[in-house]
A and B are shown apart, each in its own frame.
Chain A
Amino acid sequence: MNTTLQKNKDTGLLFFGKVTASVTHDVKNSLATINENAGLLTDYAAMAARGKPLDPERVNALAVRIMDQVKRADALLKNMNRFAHSVDDSLKKVDLNEILQLLAALSVRFAAMCETTLDVRASSDPVEIETSPFGLLNALFLCLEFAMAAAGRGRSIDLRPEKTATGACVHFGPLPDAVISDQDPCLAASIDARLVKNTEAGTLTLIISDR
């Protein structure tokens, strides 16, 4: 196996591991909250058995909290499942609007750790491109990691897809005062993409060619 291919596989595995660890961490947080709410219900039941009347409103509030956490965990697992299926096809037509929504959902914890918020500026029309879905997600994630580090804490990053004559692109910004090095922070080449840094505009753009 040549060095570049091996490096891409290693980076891909690292990306898969990072996302899995982050999502499972959030699922565990959700389960922990469900566990404590269920525990509180048993506390109430024990108090009721000792003669303290149950407050129906309080019980209902706990049930709502449990349902909210189930919804949260379900959404996390749905996204994780979509992400896991991104390796199914080496080449597939994808809508960048949907891919960016998935990327943002998978990156929520990373963004929170950087105290950054992500805003997907989806296009009203589909921005379709034929590419490797997993390779694309990996390249976009690396760009996003780079953008979050460059933006600094307390900032918001827009992710904006755009159709081009030869494919599509994704803009990351605003990145004011960002020092963008010459070294590509992504595996752009592995998906026939290239990275354009506009220091004046403070944006990073991943240009992806249609295969």
Chain B
Amino acid sequence: MPEKVLLVDDEKDFLEVMAERMAARGIEVSTASSATEAIRLAEKESFDAIIVDLMMPEMDGIEALKLLKKKKPETQVILLTGHATLEKGIEAMKLGAVDFLEKPADMNQLTKKIKKAHAHKMMVVEKQIEEKMKKIMGLKGW
């Protein structure tokens, strides 16, 4: 099954070309040019990884990360930014981002990180299902 990725950036040319390159690598890509649009899409669909630009109008990447993790804790967010600082990187990781990359990113490296995020998400989801099952079994007394 192909990895499903949501790419969020206010640079439309960047979005288009990244989406085409990822698709050529067998990744199913959706795009959003704002954090608000990304959150709306993430509520409707499930993505293996969401790649978010740090600096965007309306809502920045950190705020988007907080909201995405709040709404769907299993979401795997990778922050991709033009100006990576150590402080922002630490802040993002503390908030639950799985990675923090600086633009221009290496496509092979990014693809590896997406596959890793996909595997991690599968694990998290399996754990969530296991816990739900345990809860149901406990309630029913089986």
Contact = CB atoms under 8 A, between A and B. Distances in A.
Interface of A: 21, 24-26, 28-29, 31-37, 39-40, 43, 47, 62, 65, 68-69, 112-115
Contacts of A114: 57
A105 to B, nearest CB: 17
Interface size class of chain B, counting residues whose CB lies under 8 Å from the partner chain: 10 to 19
B82 interface: yes
Contact of A40 (B21, B55, B82, B104): B21
A36 B57 contact: no
Nearest to B55: A25
Contacts of A40: 17, 20-21
Given A43-B24, A115-B58, A33 B83 contact: no
A116 B91 CA distance: 28
Given A39-B21, A112-B10, A112-B57, 13 more contacts: A26-B82, A28-B104, A31-B103, A32-B11, A32-B14, A33-B14, A33-B17, A35-B104, A36-B18, A39-B17, A47-B24, A69-B13, A113-B57
B82 A25 contact: yes
Instruction: Report, nearest first, the 5 A-B pairs whose CB atoms are least far apart.
Output: A35-B104, A32-B103, A28-B82, A32-B104, A36-B17
Given A36-B104, A39-B107, A115-B58, A29 B24 contact: no
Q: In terms of DSSP, what is the predominant structure of the interface of chain B?
A: loop
Nearest to A31: B104
Contacts of B55: 25, 113
Interface string B76-113: 00000011000000000000000000011101000000
Contacts of A37: 17
Given A36-B21, A112-B57, A28 B83 contact: yes
17 contacts: A21-B83, A28-B82, A28-B104, A29-B11, A29-B14, A31-B103, A32-B105, A33-B11, A33-B17, A35-B104, A36-B21, A36-B104, A40-B20, A47-B24, A69-B13, A112-B57, A115-B58
Contacts of B20: 40
A48 to B, nearest CB: 13
A24 B83 contact: yes
A35 B17 CA distance: 10
Nearest to B11: A29
Nearest to B85: A21
A119 to B, nearest CB: 18
